Amino acid sequence: MSASPEQKARDEAMFRDVNDTFVERQPVALDAPYLVYCECPDEACVEEIVLTVGTYERVRSQPRWFVVKPGHCEPDVERVVEAHDDYWIVEKHGVAGEVAEETDPRG
């Protein structure tokens, strides 16, 4: 049985919270590299992504946006906003988008 869109969004929000905790503890320059975990809904996924602090902050400025490894997009709950070689930025839609906004730690 596959997870509901709401559960997928809650799973991704959990990874967002973990990544946000790290950036709050380690303030650095916006162009500095920053290591985060993939924010896909697969609870077993622990793939790492390197992006800049500035890019991470840009993603976090949009409550429906998440950063995932290429190919980790769940089309039933999100769409790719930006595709980079090492990571994609995805945006939640529908119920998943609503959950993303409700669980946004910066909201």
| 81 domain residue, yes or no | yes
Beta bridge partners of 68: 88
How high is the pLDDT of residue 29? 81
CB-based burial label for 89 (10 Å; 0-12, 13-18, 19+): buried
At 26 the pLDDT is: 60
CA distances from 19 to 46, 52, 78 (A): 12, 13, 19
Residue 63, domain member (yes or no): yes
Residue 36 is assigned to a structural domain of this protein: yes
Does residue 79 fall inside a structural domain? Answer: yes
Q: Which two tokens stand for residue 94?
A: 């529908």
Quick one: pLDDT at residue 9?
72
Identify whether 78 is part of a domain. Answer: yes
| pLDDT given at position 22 | 59
Structural domains in the chain (count): 1
Q: Which residues pair with 48 in a beta bridge?
A: 37
**Is 107 within the bounds of a domain?**
no
Q: Is there a domain that residue 14 lies in?
A: yes
Low-confidence ranges of the chain (pLDDT < 70): 1-2, 11, 15, 17-28
pLDDT digits (tens, 9 = 90+) for 79-103: 999 999 999 999 999 999 999 999 8
Q: Which domain holds residue 91?
A: 5-102
In-domain check, residue 89: yes
Q: What is the pLDDT of residue 1?
A: 45
Q: Model-level pTM?
A: 0.78
Residue 3: its pLDDT value, please?
Answer: 72
**Reading across the β-sheet that carries 88-92, which strands appear in turn?**
65-68, 88-92, 78-83
Number of neighbours of residue 22 by Cβ within 10 angstroms: 13
Per the CB < 8 A criterion, the answer to whether 72 and 105 are in contact is no
